[in-house]
Amino acid sequence: MKIALCIPTYCEADNIAKLLYEIDQLLVEKRLNLDVFVLDDNSPDGTAKNALDTQSKLKSLAVKIISGEKAGLGSAYKRAFEELISTGNYTHIVQMDADFSHPVSSLVDFIKLAEDDIQLAIGSRYIKGGSIKNWSALRSLISKFGNFYLKMQLNSRQLDFRLADYTGGFNMYSAELLQYILPDLHECGYTIQVELKFFALNRLEKLHLLDKVVEFPIVFEDRTVGVSKMPKSTVFNTLKLIARLRKFKHLQNLPECCR
Ligand SMILES: Nc1nc2c(ncn2[C@@H]2O[C@H](COP(=O)(O)OP(=O)(O)O)[C@@H](O)[C@H]2O)c(=O)[nH]1
Ligand SMILES: [Mg+2]
């Protein structure tokens, strides 16, 4: 079992060093191990340099940068997934934001779940025990309603599996699962989180492996340093994506001859 932790960054120079340091401390304290990849789209504020400069102060973490032209969060993730899977070095890939919204301590839960051979683990704000701190009322409403709508539109009716947090970015996929669904990923922006979960669940449902999915509660806190990079188009892109995924689901449910 070996985990690659992917942290996408765009202009997170004031967050990244402190975050890497906290992750390193946790791993040393718990005697755990993972590799960190900072997915930086050539941030003009020197995020990548700050990340690399931290390396000498870290006791356990190995930090690498995967960089490219800025073409959206989804594009950065797809580039990194392809590269990491092709190495064959990792059994699981964890996604985590750089702005301290995701609790560092929950990395221990992901590591334990990977050891238990879980294929898809979701750090969830919308199940019992999960919550969001310090978001504006409007942002909370959009996210809550969005996830409720996604649940209605995309969840499986037959299998009673009700994923509650489709849009969150603190998740773990097995490399095997990611490799299979990579060709299905077309979203370039934040909507990749929904697309990833939809195709991952679809695949696991087909293999009768939904018992390898875990949604566990996290407390999400709004960033205190820097600003949100979420494009305004994300809500509209989510609606477009739902229409596409529902069409896919409909086709999948038809007999082979009619697709
Ligand atoms: N590589 C890369 N990272 C991005 C991009 N857009 C956002 N991010 C990172 O993705 C994470 C989530 O973005 P954030 O601005 O916190 O979004 P919010 O929490 O939804 O408001 C942060 O670590 C960002 O730095 C992008 O275009 N490329
Ligand atoms: Mg954030």
Residue type for position 241 = L
- Does residue 134 line the site of ligand 1, with CB under 6 A? no
Higher per-residue pLDDT: 249 or 170? 170
Buried b (16+ CB within 10 A) or exposed e, 209-235: ebebbbbbbbbbbeeeebeebeeeeee
Q: What is the DSSP string of 74-104?
A: HHHHHHHHHHHHHHT--SEEEE--SSS-S-G
Judging by beta carbons within 10 Å of its beta carbon (0-12, 13-18, 19+), is residue 20 exposed, middle or buried?
buried
Question: What's the DSSP call for residue 152?
Answer: H
Query: Domain 3-258 falls in which CATH fold?
Result: Spore Coat Polysaccharide Biosynthesis Protein SpsA; Chain A (3.90.550)
Q: Is residue 254 very low, low, confident or very high in pLDDT (cuts 50, 70, 90)?
A: confident
Candidate of 19, 97, 167 to mutate for ligand 1, largest count of ligand atoms within 8 Å of Cβ: 97
Question: What's the DSSP call for residue 232?
Answer: T
Cα–Cα distance for residue pair 108/239, rounded to 1 Å: 34
Six token digits for residue 253: 């449910």
Cα–Cα distance for residue pair 83/161, rounded to 1 Å: 31
For the stretch 211-251, pLDDT in tens is: 999 999 999 999 999 999 999 999 999 999 999 999 998 88
The residues spanned by each domain of the chain are 3-258
- Say which ligand is closest to the CA of 15: 1
pLDDT higher than threshold 70 for residue 37: yes
Best CA proximity match to 83, nearest among 67, 95, 71, 70: 67
Cα–Cα distance for residue pair 207/116, rounded to 1 Å: 18
- Does residue 171 line the site of ligand 1, with CB under 6 A? no
Which residue's CA is minimally distant from atom 12 of ligand 1? 97
Q: Is residue 38 very low, low, confident or very high in pLDDT (cuts 50, 70, 90)?
A: very high
- Does residue 220 line the site of ligand 1, with CB under 6 A? no
